[in-house]
């Protein structure tokens, strides 16, 4: 998968060199390209923001640098793979999907991560301040593929942390990124329930014993205990995830 990121803080994405995603990059499973938005601002001060039209607090990101950055990325995608722009945007197109992280977007979830993991090319546009001039979203939505996605119902200072979180959730679902694919199956949210609690050695720590069933060697009993733990945990902290009871 190719991922382009447009940001005024490229340094945020240094952490993509670490851990599983760093290995995935080294192995060519993930091709991540980070672009400094200021490199597409052509005035002397490389200005990327201005005051909100109509008044109000804060600053808004100017459309021109965004247009230049996104055009350059889309052009390079088209040059690399001319066929990807062939289909219509809402009809199986494999053209790049542009994601603007935004508290005003659809809420990100595990099922959305799965959907996005099937894309060939994601472009993340990280807004700052009070957001990006709306005409940028409108321009690339007309004839292109754009989604506004929120990490959750709280406000971050910009899209960078949300982009990192999404890339981690999506990247680990790509074939070959997580060494043992079975570990993806029993996780929280994969089938709508939270994960069961995990234990390792020693069998007793600070007077706390591992649940005896886990030491029984009875695989059916262990599986039943884990499933019950998942249901109990989900009922206790996220009851809205459980199917409605008749």
Instruction: Specify the DSSP element, H or E, that contains 119.
Output: none
Of 166 and 194, which has the nearer Cβ to ligand ADE?
A: 166
Supply angle C-alpha 124, 130, 136, rounded to 5: 50
* Shortest distance in whole angstroms from residue 182 CB to ligand ADE: 31
Element spanning 163, H or E: helix 160-171
Which range in 139-147, 149-157, 183-191, 236-244 contacts ligand ADE by CB under 6 A?
Answer: 149-157
Q: Rounded to an integer, what distance in angstroms lies between the CA atom of residue 246 and that of residue 236?
A: 19
Report the relative pairing of strands 31-36 and 2-7 from DSSP bridges. Answer: parallel
Question: Residue 107 or residue 221: which is nearer to ligand ADE going by CB?
Answer: 107
C-alpha to C-alpha distances, 81 to 91, 120, 158, 167, nearest whole angstrom: 18, 11, 31, 22
**Should residue 104 be labelled a site residue for ligand ADE when binding is judged by CB under 6 A?**
no
The verdict on 67 binding ligand ADE (CB under 6 A) reads no
Q: Which two tokens stand for residue 20?
A: 């599983």
Question: For ligand ADE, which stretch binds (CB under 6 A), given 49-57, 97-105, 204-212, 234-242?
Answer: 97-105
222, two tokens: 């262990």
Alpha carbon of residue 205 to chain centroid: 37
CB closer to ligand ADE, 84 vs 161? 161
Position 58 contacts ligand ADE (CB under 6 A): no
- The yes or no reply on residue 155 touching ligand ADE (CB under 6 A) is yes
- Measured distance CA(144)–CA(122) in Å, rounded: 12
The window from 84-92, 96-104, 115-123, 203-211 that contacts ligand ADE (CB under 6 A) reads 96-104
Nearer to ligand ADE, 91 or 157 (CB): 157
Angle at 201 between CA 173 and CA 180, to 5 degrees: 20
Asked if 101 touches ligand ADE (CB under 6 A), the answer is yes
Stretch that binds ligand ADE, among 100-108, 181-189, 193-201, 225-233 (CB under 6 A): 100-108
Task: Please identify, using beta-carbon distances, which residue of 102 and 234 lies nearer to ligand ADE.
Answer: 102
CB 120 within 8 A of CB 95: no
**Minimal distance, residue 171 CB to ligand ADE, in Å:** 17
Give the footprint of ligand ADE on this chain (CB under 6 A). Answer: 101-103, 150-152, 154-156, 158-159, 162
């Amino acid at each position: 998968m190719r991922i382009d990121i447009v940001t005024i803080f490229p340094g945020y994405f240094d952490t993509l060199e670490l851990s599983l995603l760093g290995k995935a990059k080294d192995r060519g499973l993930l091709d991540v390209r980070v672009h400094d938005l200021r490199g597409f601002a052509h005035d002397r001060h490389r200005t990327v923001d201005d005051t909100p039209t109509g008044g109000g607090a804060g600053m808004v990101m100017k459309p021109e640098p965004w247009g230049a950055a996104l055009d350059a990325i889309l052009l390079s995608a088209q040059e690399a793979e001319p066929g990807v722009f062939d289909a219509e945007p809402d009809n199986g197109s494999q053209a790049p999907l542009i994601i603007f992280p935004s508290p005003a977007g659809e809420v990100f979830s595990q099922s959305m991560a799965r959907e996005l993991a099937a894309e060939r090319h994601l472009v993340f546009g990280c807004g700052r301040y009070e957001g990006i001039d709306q005409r940028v979203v409108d321009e690339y939505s007309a004839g292109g593929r754009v989604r506004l996605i929120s990490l959750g119902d709280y406000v971050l200072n910009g899209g960078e942390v949300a982009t990192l979180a999404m890339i981690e959730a999506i990247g680990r679902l790509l074939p070959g990124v997580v060494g043992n694919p079975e570990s993806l199956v029993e996780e929280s949210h994969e089938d709508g329930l939270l994960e069961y609690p995990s234990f390792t050695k020693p069998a007793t720590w600070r007077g706390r014993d591992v649940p005896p069933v886990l030491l029984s060697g009875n695989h059916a009993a262990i599986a039943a205990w884990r499933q019950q733990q998942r249901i109990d945990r989900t009922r206790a902290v996220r009851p809205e995830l459980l199917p409605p009871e008749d």
